[in-house]
């Protein structure tokens, strides 16, 4: 057990270090960053904002990690968010309860995911193309549901999912933490995770070994659609309205980035959902730096790009290897003499 | 009594004109349904045409210039009396506009202009984005009446012309009033959720009690920001004054509830002035000016916002 915890820690160590670094950056631009207060019945503070605002990306990257582990990719999640938000809003506006609306939205998301899965697993269309179909068409479907307007609603139950709190903690935080834990437990406490990794590493041989790859691939896309639907409901509930044009726009790219920052390979195989979730938090912390720094908005994308390039460079295999060599050559020396070790080759 | 007779006489004098207008066929090439405002513009254009007894041929370009060019060519081939064009981009119109000119069909641009010689179209009906920002700034100048006021600004999409112009206009209006300072300015991408997210960060970075007013480049961001202000335990409209631009139905609902203070209308009725100009031109050859500026009307809490909301909510916003 202890061994298992240790190996997980070792796996997510780079992400933890980067997250700490970005949070420190937040602290430097805004010294009150770590202050959390309890006011008006809810936790209030920048750190809470990062956890809360990171919810959509975090939810998306849970499903995305599994899809990428099978060597696939799901570009449609942003559009599925828009569809799910639209369905939920349309149902409550129609007079249904929030439970029905949530269920309807989740079913719509799962259906979208299953559609992607069938295109990839049964029709053998390349994932990037197969999911592109829904990425483009999905927003149109969402607009049909909302009839092109921002469909607003007041249903308190549904609104609670986006901007409410449970014992002072914003609901979206609990939702993504909960789903993340459940999915991690399911794939790691059963053989499921290993089977998914096997498909990503070599689908043919995994099939020969008796893995039903078709069903598993459809399942991971279905889970991705489900996660996207949940994210879509949260985003719609947050603003009390379904904005088919903008909900989840470009968020699929943030989700993929979170998975990559989480150290997962786009070529499939071994994956870590926890590392991806840390990746999502890193992205949100970067957004937070930009907002808190008070820099003119023209700099937003440049700052984000610079920080992310830095993160990816640190993680690149070549740099990792160089660091490893550096450490290995430093090893025989007594601790504290790393500096000399660096200079020794010259 | 006399007044009533005059009204009737006035109405009668319009009869021949309406009869003439009944024979008019006009083509309208719309960009597509990119936003609620545009849907409202389509609805209002159809209403205006119907009111005047004009036969309107509507073509939705689905955000593609080639579809608009195709639509204009087909309008020319059908021999319509005039063409209304809401251009999706500014460039690349010269050839097709020349074709319309050769067929002697007047073209009126709605809401956006094009980079083409101005003899290729009759007139352009647009709002003045800088002026809108100026009206917003002037409202805040009058409202604060010299009292110190720190402003936070939610900008539109970085680099878009509404964002640049509405910022410029606002800054022009508050220039020289030392009591007004913009303390934070960040983009909210014209959307409700970004408006909410960015306002949350303003409230923490500056402190809610230090913010006196919010200027949002569109109403949707203001609607999002209102929720953020409420969640921070402050009263939008009272603790933080809110002025934004567009006059969409939901901001009027917020104003009716006292949660926002002022909005400047970007009217969806671009077709009204356009058709007025066209009818005058067809009746006695009056050439309209090359640019017709629509009114940027200021709505405040003194207006009946609930009535405006009821009137606007079915326009398709």
Q: Which of A53, A148, A300 sits opposite B39 (nearest CB)?
A: A148
Nearest-angstrom CA–CA distance, B153 and B166: 11
Confidence of residue B187 (pLDDT cuts 50, 70, 90): very high
Q: Which of A106, A146, A170 is nearest to A241 (CA)?
A: A146
pLDDT at A266: 94
CA distance B205 to chain A (A): 6
Q: Which of A105, A72, A45 is nearest to A231 (CA)?
A: A105
Nearest CA in chain B to A26: B205
Instruction: Name the more confident of B34 and B95.
Output: B95
* CATH of the domain spanning B2-126+268-286, picked from 3.30.70.260, 3.40.50.2300, 3.40.640.10, 3.50.50.100: 3.40.50.2300
- pLDDT at A199 (0 to 100): 96
Domain boundaries, chain A: 55-286, 317-346
B193 closest CB neighbour out of A46, A148, A238: A238
Contact B224, B194 (CB under 8 A): yes
Q: What is the pLDDT of residues A22-64, one digit of tens each?
A: 999 999 999 999 999 998 888 999 999 999 999 999 999 999 9
Q: What is the mean pLDDT of residues B25-39?
A: 87
Q: Is B155 close to A40, i.e. CB distance below 8 A? A: no
Decide if B2-126+268-286 and B129-266+301-312 have a common fold.
Answer: yes
> Is B226 in contact with B196 (CB distance < 8 Å)?
no
Q: What is the 3-state secondary structure (H, E, C) of A18-76?
A: HHHHHHHHHHHHCCCCCCEEEECCEEEEHHHHHHHHCHHHHHHHHHHHHHHHCCCCCCC
Instruction: Tell me which chain B residues have a C-beta less than 8 angstroms from the C-beta of A237.
Output: none
Do B204 and A148 count as a contact with CB atoms less than 8 A apart? Answer: no
Q: pLDDT at residue B5 above 70?
A: no
CATH number of the structural domain B129-266+301-312: 3.40.50.2300
Helix locations, B64-128, DSSP H: 65-78, 94-102
Q: Which candidate from A163, A235, A292 shows the least CB-CB separation from B205?
A: A292
Span B126-185, pLDDT tens digits: 999 999 999 999 999 999 999 999 999 999 999 888 999 999 999 999 999 999 999 999
What value of ipTM does the predicted structure carry?
A: 0.89
Q: What is the pLDDT of residue A341?
A: 45
Q: Which of B42, B163, B104 minimizes the C-alpha distance to B281?
A: B104
**What is the structure's pLDDT at B314?**
87
Q: Do B155 and A297 touch (CB under 8 A)?
A: yes
Domain ranges of chain B: 2-126+268-286, 129-266+301-312
CA A289 to chain centre: 19
Q: How far apart are CA A114 and CA A332, in angstroms?
A: 55
Q: What is the token pair recorded at A8?
A: 């997980």
Half-sphere exposure of B157 (CA within 13 A, CB side): 6
Q: Compute the radius of gyration of chain A from its Cα atoms.
A: 21
| Interface contact flag, A243 B34, Cβ < 8 Å | no
Range A130-133 contact pairs with CB under 8 angstroms and sequence separation of 24 or more: A131/A73, A131/A74, A131/A75, A131/A76, A131/A221, A132/A75, A132/A76, A133/A76
Chain B residues close to A152, C-beta within 8 Å: 250
Partner-chain residue, chosen from B36, B187, B196, that has the shortest CB–CB distance to A300: B187
CB-based contact, B53 to chain A, within 8 Å:
no
pLDDT in tens, chain A (346 residues): 568 889 999 999 999 999 999 999 999 999 999 999 998 888 999 999 999 999 999 999 999 999 999 999 999 999 999 999 999 999 999 999 999 999 999 999 999 999 999 999 999 999 999 999 999 999 999 999 998 788 999 999 999 999 999 999 999 999 999 999 999 999 999 999 999 999 999 999 999 999 999 999 999 999 999 999 999 999 999 999 999 989 999 999 999 999 999 999 999 999 999 999 999 999 999 999 999 999 999 999 999 999 999 988 988 889 888 888 988 887 655 555 445 444 444 3
For residues A248 and A228, is the Cβ–Cβ distance under 8 A?
yes
d(CA B97, CA B126): 19
Q: How confident is the model at residue B10 (pLDDT cuts 50, 70, 90)?
A: very low
In eight-state DSSP terms, residue B33 is S
Partner-chain contact B201 A288, CB within 8 Å:
yes
* Spatial separation of the C-alpha atoms in residues B90 and B127, rounded to whole Å: 16
- A-side interface with B, Cβ within 8 Å? 30, 32, 39-40, 42, 44-46, 49, 53, 143, 147-150, 152, 163, 235, 238-241, 243, 245-247, 288, 291-292, 294, 296-298, 300
Q: Are the beta carbons of A148 and B233 separated by less than 8 Å?
A: no
Contact yes or no for A42 and B231 at CB 8 A: yes
Interface touch B185/A42, C-beta < 8 Å:
no
Strand partners, B184: B152
Nearest CB among B186, B198, B317 relative to A149 is that of B317
**Predicted local distance difference test score (pLDDT) of residue B22:** 52
């Amino acid at each position: 057990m202890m061994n298992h915890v240790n190996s997980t820690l070792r796996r997510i160590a780079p992400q933890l270090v980067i997250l700490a670094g970005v949070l420190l950056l937040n602290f430097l631009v805004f010294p009150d960053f770590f202050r959390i207060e309890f006011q008006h019945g809810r936790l209030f503070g920048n750190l809470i904002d990062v956890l809360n605002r990171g919810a959509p990306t975090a939810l998306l990257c849970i499903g995305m990690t599994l899809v990428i582990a099978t060597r696939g990719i799901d570009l449609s999640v942003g559009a599925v968010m828009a569809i799910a938000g639209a369905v939920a809003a349309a149902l409550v506006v129609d007079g249904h309860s929030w439970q029905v609306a949530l269920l309807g939205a989740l079913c719509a998301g799962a259906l979208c995911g299953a559609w992607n899965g069938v295109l990839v697993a049964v029709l053998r269309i390349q994932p990037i193309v197969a999911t592109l179909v829904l990425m483009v068409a999905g927003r149109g479907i969402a607009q049909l549901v909302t009839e092109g307007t921002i469909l607003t609603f007041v249903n308190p139950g549904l609104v609670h999912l986006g901007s409410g709190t449970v014992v002072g903690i914003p609901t979206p935080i609990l939702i993504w933490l909960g789903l993340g834990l459940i999915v991690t437990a399911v794939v790691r406490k059963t053989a499921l995770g290993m089977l998914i990794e096997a498909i990503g590493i070599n689908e043919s041989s995994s099939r020969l070994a008796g893995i039903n790859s078709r069903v598993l691939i459809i399942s991971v896309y279905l889970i991705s659609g489900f996660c996207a639907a949940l994210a879509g409901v949260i985003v719609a509930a947050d603003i009390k309205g379904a904005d088919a044009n903008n909900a989840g726009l470009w968020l699929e790219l943030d989700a993929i980035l979170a998975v990559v920052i989480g150290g997962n390979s786009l070529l499939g195989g071994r994956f870590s959902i926890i590392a991806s979730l840390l990746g999502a938090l890193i992205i949100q912390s970067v957004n937070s730096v930009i907002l808190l720094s008070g820099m003119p908005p023209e700099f937003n994308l440049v700052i984000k790009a610079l920080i992310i390039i830095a993160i990816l460079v640190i993680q690149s295999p070549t740099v990792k290897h160089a660091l490893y060599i550096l450490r290995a050559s430093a090893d025989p020396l007594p601790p504290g003499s790393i500096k000399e070790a660096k200079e020794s080759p010259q | 009594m006399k007044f009533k007779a005059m009204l009737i006489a006035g109405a009668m004098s319009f009869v021949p004109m309406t009869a003439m207008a009944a024979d008019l066929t006009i083509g309208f090439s719309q960009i597509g349904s990119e936003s609620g405002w545009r849907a409202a513009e389509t609805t209002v254009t159809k209403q205006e045409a119907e009111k005047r007894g004009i036969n309107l041929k509507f073509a939705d370009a689905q955000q593609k210039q080639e579809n608009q060019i195709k639509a204009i060519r087909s309008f020319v081939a059908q021999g319509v009396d005039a063409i209304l064009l809401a251009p999706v981009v500014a460039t690349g119109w010269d050839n097709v506009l020349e074709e319309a000119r050769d067929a002697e069909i007047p073209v009126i641009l709605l809401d956006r202009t094009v980079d083409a010689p101005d003899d290729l179209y009759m007139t352009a009906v647009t709002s003045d984005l800088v002026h809108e920002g100026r009206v917003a700034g002037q409202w805040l100048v009058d409202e604060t009446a010299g009292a110190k006021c720190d402003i936070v600004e939610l900008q539109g999409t970085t680099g878009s012309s509404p964002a640049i112009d509405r910022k410029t206009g606002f800054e022009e209006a508050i220039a020289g009033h030392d009591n007004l300072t913009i303390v934070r300015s960040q983009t909210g991408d014209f959307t409700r959720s970004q408006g909410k997210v960015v306002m949350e960060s303003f409230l923490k970075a500056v402190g809610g009690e230090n913010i006196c007013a919010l200027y949002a480049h569109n109403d949707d961001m203001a609607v999002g920001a209102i929720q953020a202000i409420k969640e921070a335990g402050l009263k939008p409209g009272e603790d933080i004054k809110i002025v934004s631009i567009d006059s969409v139905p939901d901001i009027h609902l917020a104003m009716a509830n006292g949660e926002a203070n002022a909005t400047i209308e970007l009217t969806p009725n671009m077709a009204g002035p356009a058709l007025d100009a066209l009818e005058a031109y067809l009746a006695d050859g009056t050439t309209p000016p090359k640019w017709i500026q629509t009114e940027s009307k200021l709505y405040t809490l003194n207006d009946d916002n609930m009535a405006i909301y009821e009137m606007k909510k079915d326009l398709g916003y």
